[in-house]
Structure 1
Amino acid sequence: MTRPVELAPPFSGRWLVQNSPADRVPSHGTHLFATTYAIDFVPVDEVGRSARLGLRGLVRPEPPQAFVGFGRPVLAPSDGVVAAVHDGEPDHDAYRGLPSVGYALTQGRRAHGGWVALAGNHVVVEVRIGVFVALCHLADGSVGVRPGQEVAAGEELGRCGNSGNSTEPHLHLQVMDQLDPGRARGLPLTFGNGIPHSGEIVDAP
């Protein structure tokens, strides 16, 4: 098996882990678009909530700005060179409760739309030759780097948003063996102390 790519947490503060490759591979139920070992991080508050869930959230979509992590900085998880960026996709409403059912039914349409429809606004960093880290669902207008730019681990790349295939503001991270996700193979990753499991909360300095 390929040795896991070691990364630093791409954020600070408190984030909830979802869809972790520590629990199953492929972590997102598919190998498509090199998501084999992808992992999701949802920013949460001190008691582990991404947002208060009231009656409105159970029956209606919610604005992404209502979530505590919307706009939190997303950081480079390693030194590297920016290989690709995409910005300009809108941050759509968040879907919890009953609205999430209807949103799930449109999953196929988004997948048919290709990588950008799924990833939304994103940055891809080449952390070593032939190893690319994609950070996805960034907030509209928040990407602050450009292709060819050298970045250091911990440098801000953009901000957490709700663009692309996302039910609430979160960060999707994956490692690939080439820049084109449609042709790439997903690579395993680790965060120093290993891979956190789904449901765990990561507190990063």
Structure 2
Amino acid sequence: MTSGRPAGAPLLLRFPFTGRWVAQNSPADRVPSHGTHAFGSSHAIDFVAVDEHGHSAPRGWRSAFATEPPDRFIGFDAPVLAPVDGTVVIAHDREPDHEARRSPLTLLPYLLSQSRRAQQGAGGLAGNHVVIAARESGPFVLLAHLRRGSMGVRVGDVVRVGMPIGRCGNSGNSTEPHVHVQASDSIEWSTARGIPIAFAAAAERAGWMPRNRVAFDVK
């Protein structure tokens, strides 16, 4: 898929997975989508794998009162695919996959510690992540929160749309296994600016952006 686009048009990507997913923190609902322009994340989007009922994992006492193991979730270990042709410029794979948190009892303390993770830099926020440069000067596409040890690419590798690059995990600033996608004009994260993106399920389709909490299927 080409990265060339008219000025002001979104960068067109392919979905980096197959199956049923739901969007969270979508720029179709608000910008900046994650409440900040920092780290080039103004137009970022999160994707959570769900079942036919829209659930990311079974409900039980742990989901109400405690943390949960990440492998309890449908998305954990799901293949993550390259959404754009390009060259890998970052492949970070040393962050642990931590427990998931759906319970308000565990979620609130975790959210309050977000600033500490931000101080750890890209690894603390994005966890295990890959950045693909669509061209040498960008744009740069980030896929974050991958499973530790699942990285299938290295810096310098040339990738094509649909190639496996890793697996969905729960590393970094993540409360349950999901895939975070964003595009930016730089990988100097302190000054990077976010770039609008859109997704196409096939090369011939026009791009679109899923809205929050609406499930969709990718074949």
TM-score category (smaller protein) = over 0.9
The corresponding residue for 2:81 is 75
Deviation sequence 1:142-188 (CA, Å, 0-9, x none): 01101111111000000000000000000000001012222211100
Looking at structure 1, the residues matched to 208 and 144 of structure 2 have their Cα atoms a distance apart, in angstroms, of 21
Residue 121 of structure 1: which of 101, 108, 128 is its match? 128
Range with bigger deviation, 93-102 or 167-176: 93-102
Looking at structure 1, the residues matched to 199 and 168 of structure 2 have their Cα atoms a distance apart, in angstroms, of 19
> After TM superposition, what 4+ stretches of structure 1 lie above 4 angstroms from structure 2?
none
- On the 8 A contact 1:115/1:182 being kept in 2, the answer is no
The corresponding residue for 1:112 is 119
Residue 7 of structure 1: which of 5, 10, 13 is its match? 13
User: Structure 2: where are the runs of 5+ without partners?
Assistant: 1-6, 201-206
Query: Identity of aligned pairs, percent?
Result: 54
The corresponding residue for 1:187 is 195
Equivalent runs, 1:56-75 vs 2, <5 Å = 56-75=62-81
The corresponding residue for 1:99 is 106
Looking at structure 2, the residues matched to 167 and 41 of structure 1 have their Cα atoms a distance apart, in angstroms, of 12
Shift of 1:200: 1.3
Equivalent runs, 1:133-144 vs 2, <5 Å = 133-144=141-152
The corresponding residue for 1:199 is 213
Deviation sequence 1:99-152 (CA, Å, 0-9, x none): 111111111111222221000000000113420000000001001101111111
Which amino acid counterpart does residue 17 of structure 2 have in structure 1? F
Shift of 1:202: 2.3
Which amino acid counterpart does residue 185 of structure 1 have in structure 2? R
RMSD: 1.1
- TM-score after normalising by structure 1: 0.97
Looking at structure 2, the residues matched to 90 and 50 of structure 1 have their Cα atoms a distance apart, in angstroms, of 21
Equivalent runs, 1:40-51 vs 2, <5 Å = 40-51=46-57
Shift of 1:52: 1.0
The corresponding residue for 2:173 is 165
Looking at structure 1, the residues matched to 80 and 53 of structure 2 have their Cα atoms a distance apart, in angstroms, of 21
Shift of 1:46: 2.0
